[in-house]
Structure 1
Amino acid sequence: MAFLAIENASSSSSSSIPPSATPGCKYDVFLSFRGTDTRNNFTDHLYYRLKQVGISTFRDDERLEQGTEINSGLPRAIDESKIAVVVLSKQYASSSWCLIELAKIVECMTNKKLTVLPVFHYVDPSDVRYQRGSFAEAFAKHENQFEDKIDDVKAWRAALTEVANLSGWHLKDK
């Protein structure tokens, strides 16, 4: 369904995705996702389809190893994007890097008018919004691990809630 919308947007003269020539914007779309959950399926398909129809898309380096520092280019890529597609999957909140990235996306949404489009990838939007289930488990771990940075954890919670309150796509089992 999302792929049809992408195809229609690319062939329409009044596309909802503005041309890449927008000043200060290097990318049309920034993809935020938990690699272990969606990289080799949904996110790969979305990424290649966006590129196929000529939409400049940024996604992180798939060789980013666990425990390594997040690429310093990620915050800049978010700043230089018009749209952020956030693929919220079951283990998204288990990654502190995803949550740091999400906080930057919400900051840009607020300050720079970045458009944010959430995709609820086989998770209930209300579980994301209220941090239940796997999201509650992830935050319990973060609160223990980052007890000296609890304000960061609170900011991650707020960012997750804010994105979950946006209208988006809910992919679910039939």
Structure 2
Amino acid sequence: MEGGPCKLPQARNCSLLPHQIPWDFGDPDRSKVLPTSPNKRMLWKDKKIRQGFQGAIGESSHTYRYDVFLSFRGKDTRNGFTSYLHEELKQSGIAAFMDEEELGKGEEIAPPILRAIGESRISIVVFSKNYASSSWCLDELVRIVECRDTMGQIVWPVFYKVDPSDVRRHRGRYGEALIHHEERLKSNGGDSEKVKRWRKTLTKAANVS
């Protein structure tokens, strides 16, 4: 497993304690943080976010196995932000699916992961700097957006140390990763349409309010 516990950046005009994790590192509004105590049955200090999350879980008429599916790049956030978020969800009594194994071994995403996405009410996508470098993560995202469009699944993007416009417009590391995937697929005789789907899906997911 690559990486270690993430170091939280200093918030502008305020300071965060180690147990306070910014919800959106690209958002200057640093009031949206995880709870200061796992005993508090709330996810964020922001009342609207909390109410929206609880409402999304309680209002659906469908039967789901999980409340939340976490999509993330393991080497970026598994030992930091995502594990902290997963623990807070558990402490709040929310059933969250977090894959225990590092993704990326092979070209095809594992069927159990696809099933877990379809069995979840909400998908939280943690866009980190290396998210787009994993074809598995991108295939996850395609499935998540499909579930949003066909089943009404709620999708919440989190921009962890990345500019949302880089995700939306495929710039920086996201642009480089997509170019690499395109070249790799061409050289291997793979499905060249995949990258087009990934580009469209990244833009769509990054535009979710």
Quote the offset at 1:19 in angstroms: 4.2
State the distance in 1 between where 2:133 and 2:204 align.
Answer: 18
Where does the alignment leave 5 or more consecutive residues of structure 1 unmatched?
168-174
1:22–1:58 distance in 2 versus 1, CA, 3 Å: farther
1:67–1:20 distance in 2 versus 1, CA, 3 Å: farther
Residue in 2 that maps onto 1:80: 119
Quote the offset at 1:60 in angstroms: 1.1
Between 1 and 2, higher relative CO (CA 8 Å, sep ≥ 6) is seen in 1
Among 195, 199, 202, which residue is 1:153 paired with? 195
State the distance in 1 between where 2:193 and 2:83 align.
Answer: 33
SS of residue paired to 2:79:
helix
State the distance in 1 between where 2:60 and 2:151 align.
Answer: 17
State the distance in 1 between where 2:102 and 2:142 align.
Answer: 23
With normalisation by structure 1, the TM-score equals 0.85
With normalisation by structure 2, the TM-score equals 0.72
State the distance in 2 between where 1:69 and 1:149 align.
Answer: 12
Residue in 1 that maps onto 2:62: 23
Q: Whose strand fraction is larger, Structure 1's or Structure 2's?
A: 1
Q: Larger Cα Rg: Structure 1 or Structure 2? A: 2
Q: What RMSD, in angstroms, separates the aligned Cα atoms of the two structures? A: 2.3
8 Å contact kept, 1:83–1:117: yes
Identity of aligned residues (%): 47
Q: Whose helix fraction is larger, Structure 1's or Structure 2's?
A: 1
Mapping for residues 7-22 of structure 1, pairs under 5 Å: 15-19=54-58
State the distance in 1 between where 2:197 and 2:96 align.
Answer: 26
CA deviations over 1:13-54 (Å, ceiling 9, x no partner): x93342499533110000000000000000000001001110
* Structure 1 residue identity aligned to 2:43: I
Quote the offset at 1:82 in angstroms: 0.5
- Structure 2 residue 91 is matched with structure 1 residue 52: yes
SS of residue paired to 1:55:
coil
